Structure 1
Amino acid sequence: MILKLNNHDVLHDEKDPLPSVTSSVRDALRLGCVAVGFTIYPGSAHCNTMYEQLRAIAEEAKASGLAVVVWSYPRGSSLSKEGETAMDVGAYAAQIAAQLGAHIIKVKLPTAHLEQAAAKKVYEATQTPIKTLAERVKHVVQSSFDGRRIVIFSGGAKSEDKNVFDEARAIRDGGGFGSIIGRNSFQRPKAEAVKFLHTIMGIYSGEIQ
């Protein structure tokens, strides 16, 4: 069980989100959790506050023997909507989470879009392969201490089976550790969901190509 230590509501517009810290490491220990969770929004005008909060929480959690799970979701007035899932931004968001002490990092699947002009020049000069989703997943994993951290990708809203399975294959082939598929599982009838999950497990295990 993981206790999420910060949260936000959806009752107001959040161009530059800053979640409230709603729980503590002590709460996680009292509940018998094995890890704490925390969301950061790189790109938000309030990102430094979140970074400082996470640094302190990660230090306390590790001292108490708990793992640290970080949702790193680029968002804010300095980023375009397309930039929230841009390759350069997503890889940097994963690296920031690793640097702040995350054992497990959750990010969104990146597109091939490059948001920052300076980063685009570097990607083009080094010819970093990012055309396929598997290549982009590999790059995010490399950005997370070269695979020394667990990187999991968010699954998003319910989608067609083929789309989810193709994403799972790309995550597997790129060296990712898996994907979050809650809505894609729970919003299906039980028999269909069980079959769906068996296929996902088969893809990640290599039994299904």
Structure 2
Amino acid sequence: MAFQKILQLLGNDADHLLNHSCHTFSRELLHVPSPSFIDQVFIDSNRNPQVLRNLSAMFNHGRLAGTGYLSILPVDQGIEHTAGASFAKNPMYFDPENIIKLAIEGGSNAVATTFGNLGSVARKYAHKIPFLVKLNHNELLTYPTKYDQIMFGSVREAWNLGAAAVGATIYFGSEESDRQIVEVAKAFEQAHQLGMPTVLWCYCRNNAFTKEGINYESSADITAQANHIGVTIQADIIKQKMPNVNGGFTKIGFSKTDPLMYTELSTEHPIDLCRYQVANCYMGRAGLINSGGESKGASDLADSVKNAVVNKRAGGTGLILGRRAFQRPFKEGVDFLHTIQDVYLSKEIGLA
């Protein structure tokens, strides 16, 4: 029944996505999600036993437990997009306890949100669902608006409130990206010392990345290089926007490229574009989770199912979506998360 619903939601894109064969990076080269992913990949790394334990706590929680896939509910938009803009459609989420309840009822592997949100309910819920604390944010009260990520708390404080993992954002390509890379690299080093896995929001941000009306901030080549920098500072999981275009480097005219990037290592097919992102996460040694994006209303579920199919078939590790779940009635939000998770539970949908 679940697969039939997925087919219905894919509509005319079903054949295009489900029967695509990838001829860029062979799937035999990838480290793909599986029940033994931690044993196969992280066991040879420098991550200490506490990191492996907390990674296991995340991978073995919720409806996707034991599959190697992740479904994470992120609700940091109260800072990143203002609380009013984020929660006006569903004011119950001004109370952070309801965020945790949605993650639990929705079968999420973990809930990602702010120090304040998690700290306010830590004693009640830290042992019931893995906490992923977001260390930095972009605040929107500075005028004129600027785009920078600044630290809102310490790694030690995240550890104190019972976090299983920490997350951070770097705006790659922005004027402040060098400072952010240094800050986040130091924070991730300390997090690993304390036994917490690290998740990096590898977002690209620069007004110059828009050329002839096309925004290349989500271009496959640019985002993939952001991923590669992210895993270089030892992010265990990479969060990235789903690529919807390619050729950002060549169109804008910066950085360095090889023609093979566009002729042999990728095509215009969305699964091939996403696989290029996976390949730049050390061939999947660091899991790629693609973000859900803003809520657009009636098309949200179909769009998210398509993204989940693309991510899974490309070799990714899951989806991390928030607004599309919490900006609708609670029960509907739970059902929304379950439907996305069903893509990863479906044996009919395999690696391309």
* Selected match of 1:68 from 194, 198, 219: 198
Sequence identity, in percent? 31
- Counterpart CA distance in 2 for 1:44 and 1:89 is 13
1:207, distance to aligned residue in structure 2 (A) = 4.7
1:86 matches 2:206: no
CA RMSD after TM alignment:
1.9
SS of the residue 1:106 aligns to: strand
**2:293 counterpart residue number:** 156
Inter-CA distance 14–83: structure 2 relative to 1 (3 Å threshold): farther
Structure 1 unmatched ranges of 5 or more: none
**2:337 counterpart residue number:** 197
1:145 matches 2:282: yes
**1:121 counterpart residue number:** 259
1:134 matches 2:271: yes
Q: Which amino acid aligns with 1:127?
A: E
- Counterpart CA distance in 1 for 2:145 and 2:260 is 31
**2:327 counterpart residue number:** 187
SS of the residue 2:248 aligns to: coil
Are the equivalent residues in 2 in contact too, given 1:112–1:130 (CA < 8 A)?
A: no
- Counterpart CA distance in 2 for 1:41 and 1:29 is 25
1:177, distance to aligned residue in structure 2 (A) = 1.1
Structure 2 unmatched ranges of 5 or more: 1-130, 251-255
Are the equivalent residues in 2 in contact too, given 1:109–1:137 (CA < 8 A)?
A: yes
Per-residue deviation, residues 57-83 of structure 1 (Å, max 9, x unmatched): 111111111111111100024422611
1:119, distance to aligned residue in structure 2 (A) = 2.9
1:46 matches 2:176: yes
- Counterpart CA distance in 1 for 2:237 and 2:195 is 15
Are the equivalent residues in 1 in contact too, given 2:218–2:243 (CA < 8 A)?
A: yes
Inter-CA distance 2–197: structure 2 relative to 1 (3 Å threshold): closer
1:6 matches 2:132: no
Inter-CA distance 196–8: structure 2 relative to 1 (3 Å threshold): closer
**1:101 counterpart residue number:** 234
Q: Which amino acid aligns with 1:65?
A: G
1:144, distance to aligned residue in structure 2 (A) = 0.4
* TM superposition score normalised by structure 2: 0.55
SS of the residue 1:152 aligns to: strand
1:29 matches 2:169: no
1:194, distance to aligned residue in structure 2 (A) = 3.6
1:103, distance to aligned residue in structure 2 (A) = 0.5
- Counterpart CA distance in 1 for 2:243 and 2:144 is 24
- Counterpart CA distance in 1 for 2:330 and 2:347 is 23
- Counterpart CA distance in 2 for 1:105 and 1:90 is 11
Question: How many residues in Structure 1 have an aligned counterpart in Structure 2?
Answer: 207
Structure with greater Cα Rg: 2
Inter-CA distance 30–45: structure 2 relative to 1 (3 Å threshold): same
- Counterpart CA distance in 2 for 1:182 and 1:72 is 17
Q: Which amino acid aligns with 1:167?
A: N
